[in-house]
Amino acid sequence: MDLLKLLALDEEDLKIVSAHVQDAVMKVGDLDFIAASRQFVVPMYRFAWEKDASLAQPQPERRNSMLHFGRVLSVKQAGIARGKPDEVLSLLAVTYAATDAPAGTIDLVFAGGGTIRLDVECIEARLSDLGGAWGASARPAHKD
């Protein structure tokens, strides 16, 4: 198994990371803002889109992964029940909007209308597979 490791330092890089984490699932209680070190971490089970596109890999696959953001100044959320730590979220996209470049906001957009907004000094994101992989029960599908 090839472990994916990506680094995003600009908006174009972040779009690539976003494509790789589309349809990742995670629990609300696992999301963590570490204010002292200005980090936001997102442990997730991502759908391996790069494997799904391969003819050599007929069964869809999910992987244990970590999405990590550095240089985070603050975190805001809407539509997410922090009081329900076992609630499962499905990530749709990660977007960036500049405010005073390179500073800006990074939005994690979830199915069902939830959003987490990170105010950041600059884009500094890492996506790393942690090693666990298993067959997914189905390929995610979205209405147009």
Q: What is the per-residue pLDDT across 33-83, written as a single tens digit (0 to 9) for each?
A: 999 999 999 999 999 888 755 555 567 889 999 999 999 999 999 999 999
Residue 62 counted as domain residue:
yes
Q: What is the per-residue pLDDT across 85-120, written as a single tens digit (0 to 9) for each?
A: 999 999 999 999 999 999 999 999 999 999 999 999
Domain coverage including residue 121: 5-130
User: Rounded to whole angstroms, how far apart are CA atoms 107 and 69?
Assistant: 11
Q: What is the per-residue pLDDT across 12-35, written as a single tens digit (0 to 9) for each?
A: 999 999 999 999 999 999 999 999
User: Rounded to whole angstroms, how far apart are CA atoms 128 and 78?
Assistant: 26
Residue 136 counted as domain residue:
no
User: Looking at the 3D structure of the chain, how many domains does it have?
Assistant: 1
Question: Nearest CA to 106 among 84, 88, 91?
Answer: 91
Residue 142 counted as domain residue:
no
pTM exceeds cut of 0.85 = yes
